Amino acid sequence: MKIQIRRAVPVLLSAVLLGLCPACAFLPLGPGETFRPPTFTSAPKDSPQPGGDGPDNGGTGEAETPGVTGIDQTQRYAFSLLSSTDDQSLYLRMRDAVAQMSPSLVETGYEAQALLEMLDYIRIDYPEYFWLSGTADASTRTRNGVTQDVTINFQYTMSAAEQAQAQAAVDAAAEECLSAIDPSWSDYDKIKAVYDWIIRRTDYEGSVMDQSLYSVLVEGQGVCAGYARTTQYLLNRLGIPCTYITGTARGGGHAWNLVQADGAYYYLDTTWGDPVFADGDQDPDHVSYAYFCVTTESLQRTHVIDDTLPVPLCTATACNYYVHNGLALDSYDSVALSGLLTQAARNRQGELSVLFTSDQAYRQAVSALFERQEIFSLLDDAADATGLNANHVSYSVNDQQRTVTINLTYGN
């Protein structure tokens, strides 16, 4: 008999872009600065009102998928935080300028910093603007010491002709995912389908400098920012509100998502669903659900959330992978584990992953299963009628999220 342990090591963004905040590609803040919603000294009298001429999708020209309706403008998270119509109007003018790849936008009555901050709101809400650079600048025109107007100059990573070609590739890749999802599916099933699809077709590659969704959708590789923006884009297309969250994890810059499912908020980290093991192996078929629709308390064991945006306290558990699938155990229960292993073997699953809801239950499970090797008696119980190989087991553990994943092998 042999036991092999494999410890999953979640991957972090290691590339640092010149002039950018790692993982988020927002304009870097100065020492002691924090990001706040834009404030205004005055607003133009002829500002268009939200919901006016501009299309809700920002004019991206994205392909239509039958049964896929997408979210409306009010469900874009950063936009929903803007309380005044003047703020919303500026947002929409800037959104439309970026969608049309306008070189600049001239505004009166606003400070330059407010325009730059509002552009970060656009970056947060619209991952589909993959051509928008993480940098921009604003210049102020004055006369006799009085500000006349402010010009914000956008920077793009490609020309309009290149964008049209890239858009076609993005649309084709997105269609591959979206067309396989039934509109009648539950929010949980839609989120899981997107999560699985991204992980199984994407290689985490820390050398990738493109932090947009393009590298993940089209090239099949990327860093955490690309994973998170792709998740956000596809879920938004499916009508599930999802936003882009930044912070740190294990001391490095990181990005993940806040998603709304069945009216409740959860955190979702697609990048950490695609782990690299301590031995350097990256299994393209392995999907970890340790960070699938988790609470704030669970996330904060390993992640620190930036104060870029105010975020809700996530306490719901119904859409958590383990809770939803009956794989969350309040205590170490060998009978319950035996039943789960037997069911997994009958279904010819390649692995069984179980969450223990307390530190005590998790420690008891790891000790009993692998130190006292009770795992073999449980496998023997499950092997009788299933063809399960009970003589060899490999497993991975996640100490922070209290999960144990047992890999299952079968005979001929």
Q: What are the residues whose beta carbons fall under 8 Å from the beta carbon of 104, sequence distance 6 or more?
A: 97, 151, 152, 153, 154
Asked if residue 357 has pLDDT above 50, the reply is yes
Contact 86, 42 (CB under 8 A): no
Which tens digits make up the pLDDT trace of 304-351?
999 989 999 999 999 999 999 999 999 999 999 999 999 999 998 989
Per-residue pLDDT at 401 exceeds 50 = yes
Q: What is the pLDDT of residue 94?
A: 96
List % helix, strand, coil for the chain (3-state, nearest 5). Answer: 35, 20, 45
pTM: 0.84
Domains and CATH numbers, the chain: 73-162 (3.30.1370), 326-412 (3.30.1370)
Q: What is the pLDDT of residue 42?
A: 40
Q: Is the pLDDT of residue 20 over 70?
A: no
Helix (H) or strand (E) holding 247: strand 242-249
Question: Rounded mean pLDDT of 352-379?
Answer: 94
Mean pLDDT of 123-151: 89
Model confidence at 1: pLDDT above 60: no
Q: How far apart are CA 245 and CA 305, in angstroms?
A: 7
17 pLDDT tier (thresholds 50, 70, 90): very low
Give the separation between CA 22 and CA 225, rounded to whole angstroms: 9
Q: Which two tokens stand for residue 52?
A: 């006016």
